[in-house]
Amino acid sequence: LGFLSLRAGLRRSSNGGQDQEHFGRSLLDPRPLEAMIAGSIEWESLHDNVDAGRTLALLVAALDVATGKTTIFSEVAPAADFRPSRDPRRRAEVGQIGDEHVLASAAIPLLFPARRIGASYYCDGGLRFNTPISPAIRAGSDRLVVITLSGTREEGLEPPVEINEYPSLFFLAGKVMNALLLDQVVYDLAVLKRFNHLVAVLEQALPAQSFAEVERLLVDSRGAPYRRIETLVFSPSEDLGAIATEHLHRHLDSWRLSRIPRWLLGVARGSQADWAAYLLFDGGFAERLIELGRKDALARSQEIREFFGAACVLAP
């Protein structure tokens, strides 16, 4: 993954000129990210799998910059039971998904350029979207594997951090990024847990006819009833900000970076680097995260087997 790197620096072409397509629209050069997405996803095979029903749905969220609505780009198999949200802050757009939808969903404002899809511009789908689990449930999922990046936090609580002096701008930026892009998943999981309990109580307490009436009212109001959803949730066993800080200490001086990215990462190297973890598109850092994910999965191998069934085999 070494080609996906901040070494591309700011919006400069290889001959030293300005990249007119992106100049003035974002702090960082998006071209390495564009190349990675374009070269690593076999879209035609994915479309074929959706059309054949082998994959029921691919859902990508992005924020419509003009309207402030979260758009769920939805590539859905013909047999899928997809029930879009009736929330006026949400909109479903059904059709094939491609590079631009993924890049729009990952476009952190100011850092990466918003993407034009049709007549609208879109940016990071995590903004203003406090129910990120909902689209998968509305596409018919009754079991979810959820991978969060929120470390050891439970119920949205950060691990304690001792602050001996006023926090830097970059420390605060990292916490703001976490709040905007990570905490919604933690919150939505907590809400799902409460609804699972509520549905279980209603199923036991209400006669079948009364429970069916409750479901009918829910369908009328929100387009779908509530139902119990089984989850398997993974979060990193180590703090990703701490891993990013360590990686910067080891490698920053050897990287060929233009001035502003070097300054930004150099500041992060001296503090807790939560925000740098969002920008550190370096192959070595990605390898650290992949290895951590593999280790965490193997540590829960029995739980994974029980969730997926006896046919599940985990490679060491």
**Per-residue pLDDT reduced to its tens digit, 179-198:** 666 678 888 999 999 999 99
pLDDT bucket at 245, cuts 50 / 70 / 90: confident
CA distance 160 to 303: 29
Contacts of 29 (CB under 8 A, 6+ apart): 8, 9, 10, 11, 12, 19, 22
CA distance 125 to 101: 10
**Per-residue pLDDT reduced to its tens digit, 70-92:** 999 999 999 998 999 999 999 99
Is residue 158 scored above 60 in pLDDT?
A: no
CA distance 86 to 72: 12
Highest-pLDDT range among 25-39, 135-149, 151-165, 256-270: 135-149
Lowest mean pLDDT: which of 121-125, 167-171, 225-229, 292-296?
167-171
CA distance 99 to 40: 10
End-to-end CA, the chain? 21
Mean residue pLDDT of the chain comes to 81
CA distance 130 to 306: 29
Number of Cβ within 10 Å of residue 283's Cβ equals 12
What mean pLDDT do residues 207-215 have?
93
What mean pLDDT do residues 273-301 have?
85
Structure tokens of 313?
């085999």
DSSP, residue by residue, 153-205: -BTTBPPP----SPPPHHHHHHHHHHHHHTHHHHHHHHHHHHHHHHHHHHHHH
pLDDT bucket at 292, cuts 50 / 70 / 90: very high
